[in-house]
Structure 1
Amino acid sequence: MKLALILNVIDPRIGGVMIMGDRGTGKSTTIRAIADLLPEIEIVQDDLFNSHISDYELMSDDVKNKIQEGVSLETTFVNVPMIDLPLGATEDRVCGTIDIEKALTEGIKTFEPGLLAKAHRGILYVDEVNLLDDHLVDVLLDSAASGWNTVEREGISMRHPSRFVLVGSGNPEEGELRPQLLDRFGMHAEIRTVKEPNLRVQIVEQRSSFDENPDACLQEFQDKQERLKNVIINAQKKLIEVSIDYDLRIKISEICGLLDVDGLRGDIVTNRAAKAFAAYKGKDLVDIEDVKQVITLCLRHRLRKDPLETVDSGSKVQQVVNKILGN
C-alpha cells in the first residue's frame, strides 16, 4: 500500500491506486499521511485552479491568456492539496457549476469551482469508493485520465485542468467495483489484518503513544519523515532520466498476454511504475527486480474473475512472473 502511494506521488501518470482491505487496517490513516511527504507547490496567486506558472498543461485558460498578453503574475507556495470526497457529494459539488443567474443578469460567465478544481496538482481521496454512485466514479476517472474537467450547463461551457492522484479505498465485504472501473485505477493494493501478535502489540503501542502525546510522537519520527521526503523529491527529478530496455518491455507485455489482461493499460502502467520504482531507488535503468516489485500491484485487478477459481489473483500474477522473469 505504501509503495503504491509513493510511486503514484513520484509519477502521477501511473493513474492512482485502489486500496481494498479489512476494516481498521489503517487505510485512511496511511493515505492521509502521504500528503505530509510532498514538497510545497508553486501556484499562480488568487487562481482558482492551482495553476502552474510555466507548464501549459497545468494552467487554466485564464492564466494562459494573461501570459500571452504579457501580464505579470504573482506566485505563492502552498501545501499539496489533499481533498476528501464525501460519499454524499453531488455532481455539482464534484465538478463545479456555472452561476446561471449571473450569466443571465450580468452576462458574466462565473464558475464556482468544485472538488476536482481544488484537487488539481494534488491528491483526491475517495473513502468507500465502492459505495460511490457509478456516474460520479465515471466523472472522476474521466478527469483523472484526461487531466481536464469540462462543465456544460444551460448552453454554457467551462473547462479547467484537473490533474490529481486518485486514491480510493474500500472494504470488499461492502461490494466490489465494476471491472471496467477497477481497470481505470493504475494500481491495486490488498490489505489484510496483521496476525502476528508482536506486530499487533507494536501497532497498539504506537497508537497509544500518539494519543497520549501527538507532538512527541511526530518529533520521534521527524528525521525518518524528512529522509523519505527527500528521497521522493529526488526521485521526481530523476524520473525523466530513467529508461527501460526493449527486452524487458517485451517480457512485461508477454506476462500481460499470458494473464489474458484486456487492453493495454496493464502494460503501460507496469512500465511507468517500474520506472518510478527505479527512480525511487536512485537508478538510471530498470532491471528485472524493479519489475517484480511493482507488477503484481499493476495487474492483479485486471485479471478476469472466475467464480470457481480458488487461487488469489496476486498469486496467479506471481506464478506467471516467476515463469517469465525467473525466481
Structure 2
Amino acid sequence: MSKKTVERPVFPFTGIVGQEEMKLSLILNVIDPKIGGVMIMGDRGTGKSTIVRALVDLLPPIDVVENDPYNSDPYDTELMSDDVLDKLKNNQEISVIQIKTPMIDLPLGATEDRVCGTIDIEKAISEGKKAFEPGLLAQANRGILYVDEVNLLDDHLVDVLLDSAASGWNTVEREGISICHPAKFILVGSGNPEEGELRPQLLDRFGMHAQIKTVKDPGLRVKIVQQRELFERNPKDFKLKYQAEQDKLMERIVNARKNLKEIEISYDLLEKISKVCSELNVDGLRGDMVTSRAAKALVAFENRFEVTPKDIFTIITLCLRHRLRKDPLESIDSGSKVQETFRNIFAI
C-alpha cells in the first residue's frame, strides 16, 4: 500500500489578523523577486513564521523537470541545471511535472556544506565524475528560503545566502573542482532585535525590512487568539472558510506578475526617490532601485498601470529604514525619519 504524504495544516494567509506591513512586503517580493527579499524584525510570538508559511499556499504550482534535484524550469535555460541543459541540447526527452512552490526552512545550526552542497572529492578523482550532493540552496531554487533567527546565523553563511539570492546561482568549489547550479529564491529572514541586529552591510542587502510589533489593542489580541484556537480545533473547516479570499488573493498575485512589465514610473518620481535617498545619506543605489521596484509591484498588485506619489509613500519606509546610518544620540525612529524626508521632497 502506498503511503500518502501527510501535509502539516497551514494557517490561511487571509485569516491572519494585523501585521499589514509584513504581509505587504512578502506579497510584493512574490510579485517581483528582484526586490531582494524581506528582513522581518519583531518580538517573539508575533506570528512571523506563521505568516511566511502561509504565503506559500498563495503561490501557484510550478512546472519542474521530474527527478531533478534543482527544481529545474523545463522552459527557462537560466533556471536549469547543467544535466537538463545537456539533455535538451542532445534532443533527449524530459518529463515535466507540477509541484507546489518550495518553501525551505534553514535550521539555525546548519553548516555551509548542508546549505551549499558537497562535492565527493574521492569519487571525482577515482571515477572522473563531478559527484555533487545538493544542499538547501538547490532545494530552494524557484521557491522561498526562510531563515528564522537570521541575526544569530554566522555572518559568512548570511553572506553566502545573500550572494545566491542576488545572483540566482550557487557555486561550490573544493580542491580545484567547481560546481555551479541555479539557486533563484526569495530570501526571507526573521529575528528578534533583542538578540542583536545584523551587520549594516548585510542588512542593506535585504530588499525590504518589516517591523513587527506586539499588538497592544485587547480586542485585536482576543481576535488573534480566537482565530488560532478555531484553526487548531478544525484546520480543514477553518481553511475552507477563507478559501474564496485565498483564491482571490492568489489571482491578484498571478495577474500582478503578468502585468509587472507594463507598469510605468515617471522620471520626475524617480528623481524624487533619489533625492530622498540622497537626503537620508543612503549608501549606494540599492535603496533607489528597490523603492522603484516595490512601487511598481504595488501598482501591479492593485491592478493599475502608473505609479503615484501615494504608492511610493506606502512602500518607501519598508525599503529604506534599514539603510539609514544609526546615530545612537538620535531619538527619532528611522521609519519616521524616512516619512518626514519623503513629505519634504514630495511636498505632501
| Shorter-chain TM-score tier | over 0.9
Aligned to 1:131: 152
Is structure 2 residue 290 aligned with structure 1 residue 269? yes
Aligned to 1:35: 56
Is structure 2 residue 301 aligned with structure 1 residue 285? no
Tell me which of 118, 124, 141 is aligned to 1:97.
118
Amino acid at match of 1:259: L
Post-superposition offset of 1:71: 1.9
Tell me which of 81, 100, 110 is aligned to 2:102.
81
Matches within 5 A, 1:146-225: 146-225=167-246
Post-superposition offset of 1:210: 1.2
Residues 38-64 of structure 1: CA deviation (Å, up to 9, x unaligned)? 000111112111111121211122222
Post-superposition offset of 1:155: 1.5
Amino acid at match of 2:79: L
Q: Distance in 2 between matches of 1:101 and 1:61?
A: 22
Moved more, 298-307 or 238-247: 238-247
Moved more, 62-71 or 201-210: 62-71
Which SS does the other structure have where 1:159 is aligned? strand
Residues 235-258 of structure 1: CA deviation (Å, up to 9, x unaligned)? 111111111111111111011011
Aligned to 1:23: 44
Which SS does the other structure have where 1:37 is aligned? coil
Aligned to 1:111: 132
Q: Distance in 2 between matches of 1:65 and 1:211?
A: 48
Is structure 2 residue 319 aligned with structure 1 residue 302? no
Q: Distance in 2 between matches of 1:292 and 1:194?
A: 23
The gaps in structure 2 that reach 5 residues or longer are 1-21
Q: Distance in 2 between matches of 1:294 and 1:184?
A: 17
Q: Distance in 2 between matches of 1:119 and 1:204?
A: 32
Tell me which of 320, 324, 327 is aligned to 2:345.
324
TM-score by length of 1: 0.98
Amino acid at match of 1:280: F
Q: Distance in 2 between matches of 1:221 and 1:201?
A: 19
Residues 244-298 of structure 1: CA deviation (Å, up to 9, x unaligned)? 1111111110110111100000001011111111100111111111111111100
The gaps in structure 1 that reach 5 residues or longer are none
Q: Distance in 1 between matches of 2:205 and 2:145?
A: 15
Q: Distance in 1 between matches of 2:234 and 2:92?
A: 49
- Taking only aligned residues, the RMSD between alpha carbons, in angstroms, comes to 0.9
Q: Distance in 1 between matches of 2:131 and 2:311?
A: 48
Q: Distance in 1 between matches of 2:68 and 2:273?
A: 42
Post-superposition offset of 1:102: 1.7
Aligned to 1:254: 275
Amino acid at match of 1:6: I
Post-superposition offset of 1:105: 2.6
Which SS does the other structure have where 2:57 is aligned? helix
Is structure 2 residue 258 aligned with structure 1 residue 237? yes
Is structure 2 residue 76 aligned with structure 1 residue 70? no
Moved more, 44-53 or 258-267: 44-53
Q: Distance in 1 between matches of 2:347 and 2:149?
A: 37
Moved more, 77-86 or 94-103: 94-103
Percent identity between matched residues is 67
Q: Distance in 2 between matches of 1:326 and 1:110?
A: 60
Post-superposition offset of 1:65: 2.2
Which SS does the other structure have where 1:126 is aligned? strand
Aligned to 2:14: none
Amino acid at match of 1:217: F
Is structure 2 residue 24 aligned with structure 1 residue 3? yes
